[in-house]
């Protein structure tokens, strides 16, 4: 703390000096009055002395913070100006109506890939849609693009489904949600297998859910055990077998190779790749590329509740060309699970847009 002494004729003047020197955050530590000058007790002046201090670091930090905030605001302003300049120079955008430009701007904020955004707008523009109907037409175009969700079907034979994805995307939690849904809502016979034996807690996590839902959980420590479970022990005993796997890095080719061997296509009917929507777009692209080794059939989007930017719903579709099956929107088992209906996903993307 920086501490200084100030002397003035009145308390008001002294405080004024403190504030002028140390700033409004200064605190008064002590005050004194004393007599000054004079002769034989006459003509003396009563003076006020204030000892005041201020937290130096705090001041600096605040100052830095303010500078940082100002810098950020300026950067943002510059960015917006640059974007608008580039839009003015963009042949396609410079010919758009106000409504269509507004849609483009919305897509931009939602981080929809630029080319895709222009593509959607082009479709609407060429269809010469009546003003007032743009919103519903846009929704229709997006729904068409997203396509119908492809849920897990348990109508005919036993289904074996494997779930894969990066660490922590919500595989185990989503399996628990699906198991609860099919057991309790659809009255199906469901069985769980976990192959995630790397972490002791992982088996325990799924065991807790299987106990609550009252369905069996089997642990497969290797490929042979998984084959034995699916081909013999559990064959035709359940409508649905859900297989949990350990989180894998999309960069680790060896780990992905092992996972591919584990979830042999002759063993599993479907592989659902899980992607968390709170992941950065460029990483999502890498994840899809890495996991394409396993040839996933469907995509599950997780953690939609943890973002407010939904452009990746469209971007992922564009990169993967895979159908969506489910989305998850929170940690609650079994409630925070929804079918990935195109209307629902479009709603996330165009919510708040009103042209
Ligand atoms: N906010 C939110 N959290 C979720 C969602 N789904 C799962 N989680 C949370 O994400 C965390 C990780 O979930 P898990 O199910 O263990 O993820 P995982 O993919 O099995 O993780 P690993 O097995 O370690 O790869 C937990 O705290 C979950 O409660 C969701 O939709 N929204
Ligand atoms: Mg897990």
Q: How far apart are CA 300 and CA 149, in angstroms?
A: 10
Confidence of residue 317 (pLDDT cuts 50, 70, 90): very high
166 lines ligand 1 (CB under 6 A): no
* 3-state DSSP percent of the chain in helix, strand and coil, to 5: 50, 20, 30
311-327 mean pLDDT = 97
Nearest ligand atom owner, CA of 331: 1
* Whether residue 333 has pLDDT greater than 80: yes
Confidence of residue 84 (pLDDT cuts 50, 70, 90): low
Distance 174 CA to ligand 1 centre (A): 8
* Whether residue 80 has pLDDT greater than 70: no
Question: What local confidence, expressed as pLDDT, does residue 345 receive?
Answer: 97
- Atom of ligand 1 lying closest to residue 245 CA: 23
306 lines ligand 1 (CB under 6 A): yes
Q: Which of 14-23, 83-92, 160-169, 200-209 has the lowest average pLDDT?
A: 83-92
Distance 335 CA to ligand 2 centre (A): 18
Q: Classify burial at 354, counting beta carbons within 10 Å of its beta carbon; exposed 0-12, middle 13-18, buried 19 or more.
A: exposed
- Atom of ligand 1 lying closest to residue 169 CA: 19
Q: Which of 22-26, 160-164, 201-205, 325-329 has the lowest average pLDDT?
A: 22-26
171 lines ligand 1 (CB under 6 A): yes
The tokens describing 246, both together, are 């350990």
329 lines ligand 1 (CB under 6 A): yes
- Atom of ligand 1 lying closest to residue 196 CA: 23
* Whether residue 63 has pLDDT greater than 70: no
Question: What local confidence, expressed as pLDDT, does residue 59 receive?
Answer: 46
pLDDT digits (tens, 9 = 90+) for 51-62: 888 887 644 555
Question: What local confidence, expressed as pLDDT, does residue 10 receive?
Answer: 81
Question: What local confidence, expressed as pLDDT, does residue 47 receive?
Answer: 83
Query: Mean pLDDT across the chain, nearest whole number?
Result: 89
Nearest CA to ligand 1 atom 2: 330
- Atom of ligand 1 lying closest to residue 167 CA: 25
Distance 171 CA to ligand 2 centre (A): 5
Nearest CA to ligand 1 atom 27: 331
Distance 169 CA to ligand 1 centre (A): 5
Percent of the chain scored above 90 by pLDDT? 62
Strand ordering across the sheet containing 298-302: 217-219, 190-194, 240-244, 159-164, 270-276, 298-302, 324-328, 337-339
pLDDT digits (tens, 9 = 90+) for 107-155: 999 999 999 999 999 988 888 666 678 888 899 999 999 999 999 998 8
244-263 mean pLDDT = 94
Alpha helices in 127-199 (DSSP H): 134-146, 171-180
Q: How far apart are CA 312 and CA 127, in angstroms?
A: 25
pLDDT digits (tens, 9 = 90+) for 271-302: 999 999 999 999 999 999 999 999 999 999 99
């Amino acid at each position: 703390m920086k501490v200084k002494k100030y002397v003035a004729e009145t308390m008001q003047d002294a405080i004024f000096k403190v504030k002028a020197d140390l700033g409004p955050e200064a605190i008064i530590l002590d005050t004194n009055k004393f007599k000054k000058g004079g002769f034989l007790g006459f003509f003396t002046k009563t003076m006020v002395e204030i000892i005041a201090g201020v937290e130096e670091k705090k001041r600096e930090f605040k100052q830095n913070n303010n500078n940082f905030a100002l810098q950020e605001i300026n950067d943002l302003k510059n960015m917006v100006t640059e974007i608008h300049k580039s839009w003015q120079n963009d042949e396609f955008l410079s010919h758009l109506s106000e409504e269509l430009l507004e849609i483009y701007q919305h897509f931009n904020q939602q981080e929809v890939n630029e080319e895709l955004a222009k593509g959607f707008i082009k479709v609407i523009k060429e269809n010469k849609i009546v003003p007032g109907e743009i919103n519903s037409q846009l929704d229709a175009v997006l729904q068409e693009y997203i396509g119908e969700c492809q849920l897990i079907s348990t109508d005919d034979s036993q289904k074996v489904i494997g779930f894969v994805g990066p660490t922590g995307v919500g595989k185990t939690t989503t399996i628990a949600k699906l198991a609860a849904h099919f057991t309790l809502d659809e009255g199906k016979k469901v069985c769980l297998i976990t192959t995630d034996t790397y972490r002791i807690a992982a088996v325990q996590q799924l065991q807790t859910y299987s106990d609550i839902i009252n369905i069996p959980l089997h642990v497969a420590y290797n490929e042979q055990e998984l084959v034995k479970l699916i081909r013999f022990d559990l064959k035709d005993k359940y409508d649905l077998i859900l297989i949990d796997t350990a989180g894998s890095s999309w960069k680790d080719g060896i780990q992905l190779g092992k996972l591919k061997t584990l979830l042999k296509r002759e063993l599993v009917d479907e592989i659902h790749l899980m992607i968390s929507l709170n992941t950065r777009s460029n990483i999502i692209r890498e994840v899809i590329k890495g996991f394409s080794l396993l040839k996933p059939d469907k995509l599950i989007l997780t953690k939609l509740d943890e973002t407010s930017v939904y452009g990746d719903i469209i971007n992922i579709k564009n990169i993967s060309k895979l159908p969506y099956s489910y989305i998850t929107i929170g940690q609650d088992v079994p409630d925070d699970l929804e079918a990935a209906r195109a209307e629902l996903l479009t709603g996330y993307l165009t919510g708040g847009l009103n042209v």
